[in-house]
Amino acid sequence: MKKLVIASNNPGKLREFQFLLQPLGIEVLTQAQLGIAEAEEPHVTFIENALAKARHVSRLSGLPALADDSGICVTALGGAPGVQSARYAGDNPKSDQRNNEKLLQDMQGVADRRAHYYCVLVLLHHADDPQPLIAEGEWHGEIAHEERGEGGFGYDPLFWLPELGKMSAELSRDEKHAISHRGKAMKVLLHKLQSGNGA
């Protein structure tokens, strides 16, 4: 596999994928570079949405496609924002800042602050690939009471890591990739590719 299209227009995700895929020597293209619009994500599970995105991009590009669906799941909110993480505060426009403000508002007075980031990666060699490569990762922490830190994206300024005494947004890129949900899922995917499962 020489080329791969990432089924995302999220600049934060694109930076992470390009960094994580460097060791394999695969040329990473984005769907925007190929003029491909974002796929619909109507499903209630991360895996179904990731499959839909990968199929859409692979079909229109004729190339292997990698899609991720990820989000933050808050225990006290029954797993919300979940698959709606990117548009928790609405679509008009999608905004990390507005999403964080809504989450803080919804968590007012809530004692149980447990939450985890979840990521599922789906790699299709072609649009009708009957055996997609699937890799998952989880990253557990808590929802803080206020934002802190300048790094990362999404809910990182609110994602508190008790064992490190830091917010996700206070980690360096290398620190984050070593322990994040996407970093963990990517390690599983890379292992599958390097062991020949993705040949």
Which tokens sit at 67?
A: 């899609």
List the 114-124 sheet strands across, edge first. 27-30, 3-6, 65-74, 114-124, 133-143, 159-161, 166-167
Answer yes or no: 91 catalytic: no
Bridge pairing between strands 114-124 and 65-74: antiparallel
For 96-104, the CB contacts below 8 A with 24+ separation are 96/153, 96/154, 96/155, 99/154, 99/155, 100/147, 100/155, 100/157, 100/158, 103/74, 103/143, 103/155, 103/158, 104/145, 104/146, 104/147, 104/158
Amino acid occupying residue 83: V
Bridge partners of residue 161, in order along the sequence: 166
Q: Tell me the three state secondary structure of residue 103.
A: helix
Spatial distance between the Cα atoms of 173 and 171, rounded to a whole number of angstroms: 6
What residues act catalytically?
69
